[in-house]
Structure formats: C-alpha cells, structure tokens
Structure 1
Amino acid sequence: MSALKYFDSHRGRRLAFHLTAGTGPTIVFLGGLKSDMDGTKALHLEAWAQQHGKAFLRFDYSGHGLSSGTFEEGCIGDWADDTFDILNTLISGPILPVGSSMGGWQALLLSRRMSDRMIGMVTIAAAPDFTEDGYWASFSDAQKAQIEAEGQVEIPSDYMEPYIITRRMIEDGRQHLVLRTPLPLEFPVRCLQGTADTAVSTQTAVRLLEHAKSPDMRLLLVKDADHRFSDGPCLGLIEAAVEEILALAAS
C-alpha cells in the first residue's frame, strides 16, 4: 500500500490521498457519497494497479474519510473542486477516472474541465443528478418544508447510517446537473450497473447512456448485483473495464 499523504488546496481544504507511482495514464478512483478511499473497490484497484505497474490515485473528498471538514458542510460543487484541484496539482499527463455512484457524477463533471487529459472513463452505478432526480424528486411535501425551514433533512440509507441532506446540497446540485444539457464524452466510456441496486436504478444507467455523446460508450448490466458492486465477479468486471480502456488508449 502506498503512503498516506495530504494535499492542502488553495481553497483551505486538506485532502488525504494515496498515490501509487507507475506507468501509463493515472487511474483515479472517485468514491461515492459518504464513502472513503479505503473501500473495497478502491483498495482492490490499487492492488491491481501495483501488480501491473500502473499509476493510481485514491483520495477522500473534503468532509469524507481522513480529509478536513464535515460531510454536512459539503456539496457536489465542493467535491468537484476537490477532484479538480488534487488532479491538477498532483498529476501530470493523461488520466482514467473510475467513478463509483456519486463518483460517477464527479467523473462526468471532471470531463467538463479535463476532457483533453482523459483517455476514457469507467463508471460503477453512476448517480448523475441524484440530488435533484433522487432526493428532491422523492421528498414528501413535509420533507421539502423541513429542508426549507431547517436547512436539512435526515433520510435513511440501505447501505450505511442515515444521510443528512442539506438545502445547500440540493441548491448546489442544481448548478451541476449533467443530464439536462449536452454531455459530450470524446473518449471510450464503460458503465457498470447492477440490476439489484436499490440506490441507483437501471433506468438511470440507461438514461445516461442515451443522453451522453461518445464515440464508444457501453453499458453492462449485471443481474442481481447491488449498489456495492464489490464481490469477486464484480471486481473482476471493474478490472476488465479498466484494462479495456487502457488497451484502447495504447492502440
């Protein structure tokens, strides 16, 4: 395992990261909402990268894991800035983002800023626009009134402790939606999605596939895989997707 280090951004955020030196484009794991860089998928990909001599970066957004701040202070735009800042400073040359859940949305936002450096993209249960189409759209009138009056609302999760969703997260999310405007992805994209995922629906995966413009974009649906997408076969599919993108870039 690579050494734990910290990056101090010009925005005053201290971001924890692990960077593995290696050849070729840097594979960058972008985690999900309230996840951290020590999750199964991130650690598995790091081990795979080290085994194959590939450069690899995993990090915690602000308010996540070992980075500064609290989750309730953050929003989609903050974490997009974290992603851009750490990559723009620490990594030179081409990159391959691998985005899980909210990290899939972050990868799509990153393409607006670093498309020229991206050799491709891999998403795992990508959750673009979830603050609007998932949270806000499903809130009851009482929950909407509570978030307007109190600034936050607590909602349960099938995968961890309840989320505190703030009014700032909802309002900021509306400034970063990617499924309402053209979404050019000028590189190969591989999307992985489980059919038993209760956090992100297969309809969301199909919507992203149909909306984006890419010369080579494919969606793989995995029967009975859940949102974690982290058992042995699923991890193998993530490896295969990364290998395929790297091979296309090298050809």
Structure 2
Amino acid sequence: MTDAADMTRPKRIIVGSGAEAREIAILHRPATRRGAAAIVWLGGYRSDMSGTKAIELDSLAKRLGLAAIRFDYSGHGASGGEFSNGTISRWLEEAVAVLEDIKPKRVLLVGSSMGAWIALRLVQELGRRKRAPAVIGIVLIAPAPDFTAELIEPNLTEAERRSLDERGYFEEYSAYSPEPNVYTRALIEDGRENLVMTGIIETGCPVHILQGMKDPDVPYRHALKLVEFLPADDVVLTLIRDGDHRLSRPQDIEKILAATTALINE
C-alpha cells in the first residue's frame, strides 16, 4: 500500500524562550502542485511522526502532489524537551509555531487521539490570527478532546489521586509501550483551561471522524458526544465495529486515506 516515504533529516525550530525553549523536529514535504494544500499530522499522546498513519498520509500527499507537514511535540520522538513538562497549551503552542514557520496557505488537519484535541484547539487559535492558513478540512481519528477532564479525572483511583497530590504525577500501564503512561498534575490542570466540549465548536470546514467501537482507551460514545458539539459543520462519523484505538490495520488505513482524499477534493 505504501510508497517508500522520503525520510529526510528533520528541520528544527526553537519554540519558547529561556527556560521554556525547546527544539521541535519537523518533516516537511513541499507540494508539487501549484496552490495545493498541506496535510498536517497531529499525533497522539506519546506517539511520534514516524508511526504508520503519519507515514501513510505522507505517502498520500506525495501521490496527490500535496504538501505534508509532520512534527514531534516536545518530549516526543525526535524533538527536545522533557515529556513531563508537556501540557495541551505547550503542545498547541508548538503546533502553531510549526505552521508559522512553514507558512502553508491551506491546510487539512489530521489529528489522532490527543492530536484531535490539538486540532480542534488549533482551529480556534488560527481563527484569532491574521494571515493564518485556511483550514479546509479536519480528519479526527479516535478523537480524545478533553480527555483529561472527561476520561482521566472521573476515573482516578485513590492511589492515583494521592500520587498526584504527593508526587505531582501518577503512572498507568500502557498497552503500547513497555514504559508506563505518565500523567502530571500540570497536564490535568492545564487541560481544564483548554476544554472544547463546553459549547458549540465552529471549525468552518467539513469534519470526518473515524472511531473504533472496540477502542479500550477512548470509548466510541466519546466520539458520539463530540458530534453533538459540531452542529454547524458538515460532519461524517465512521464507526468501525471491530476497530481498536490505533486504527492502524490496512483496512483502517484505507478508510483514513479515503476520508482525507475526499476532504481534499471537496
């Protein structure tokens, strides 16, 4: 299915200043068609830009003559910074900085899991800025907007609450890595300042959501709830009956690429 993606040396930019400065790694494939949009990949919590979905989307961009923009949040993959310092605000700032550096005119955002939250906040931030790129569509994969408030806080155990109070973080088993997931008090508190499912979300563009019904991390009902907050947009929700959280099987990838291509061609 995949053309060999061109893995070039990442470009690096500095985001923040002083003690907050961190180096962000970017892979940018320029468009080969004049005026073509850029597919922007926004990865999930503890994922990076070398994952299957990111590479498949890069290959799609190459085949269609589009630009492709991938980057790693601070504390992830090839970027600098400490993962434990990460918050939604911090990673959103990095997403904005990447677009300000590359300066695409038109973008299609593809957000996976936590990246869907970043995508929805990014649309809001771009709407407040002059000369920001136009967002022509959004693809959300196993979207986890507001996951700190909606999925983590209500399910904290007494031991996890005590760890947050005493150590400033708690650890949780990860099915995707030998290392545990780490959730900090700063991430949870900052999450409350970035909630999007509190009122109507106006993206101004079509949205396609793909959600596995056997997702153990983000219940499919969370995607159904998200749709309720997008009444002003053209929204398509694809529920994949046997899909998990990653949605990285060949049949899942085909659906993601088809959804992306459809939005590009609208």
TM-score (norm 1): 0.95
Residue aligned with 1:200, SS? coil
Partner of residue 186, structure 1: 204
Q: Which runs of 4+ in 1 moved over 4 A?
A: none
Q: State the 1:196 CA deviation.
A: 1.1
Structure 1 residue 102 corresponds to structure 2 residue 119: no
Q: Which segments of 5 or more consecutive residues in structure 1 lack a partner in the other structure?
A: none
Partner of residue 22, structure 2: 13
| Matched residues, number | 248
Residue 233 of structure 1: which of 248, 251, 258 is its match?
251
Contact 1:26 1:91 in 2 (8 A): no
Residue 134 of structure 1: which of 142, 151, 166 is its match?
151
Residue aligned with 1:224, SS? coil
Q: State the 1:10 CA deviation.
A: 4.0
Residue aligned with 1:19, SS? strand
Partner of residue 200, structure 1: 218
Residues 1-251 of structure 1 correspond to what in structure 2 (within 5 A)? 1-3=6-8, 4-11=10-17, 12-22=21-31, 23=33, 24-115=36-127, 117-160=134-177, 161-248=179-266
Q: Which segments of 5 or more consecutive residues in structure 2 lack a partner in the other structure?
A: 1-5, 128-132
Residue aligned with 1:153, SS? strand
- Looking at structure 1, the residues matched to 191 and 260 of structure 2 have their Cα atoms a distance apart, in angstroms, of 28
Contact 2:202 2:233 in 1 (8 A): no
One-letter amino acid of the counterpart of residue 80, structure 1:
L
One-letter amino acid of the counterpart of residue 40, structure 2:
V
Q: State the 1:144 CA deviation.
A: 1.1
Question: What percent of counterpart residues are identical?
Answer: 37
- Looking at structure 1, the residues matched to 203 and 64 of structure 2 have their Cα atoms a distance apart, in angstroms, of 27
Give the CA RMSD over aligned residues: 1.3
- Listed one character per residue, the Cα deviations across residues 126-179 of structure 1 (whole Å, up to 9, x for unaligned) are 100111111111101231122012111111122223111111011011100111
TM-score (norm 2): 0.90
After superposing the two structures, state which structure 1 stretch, 14-23 or 112-121, moved more: 112-121
- Listed one character per residue, the Cα deviations across residues 186-235 of structure 1 (whole Å, up to 9, x for unaligned) are 11000000111111111000000111233311100011111110111111
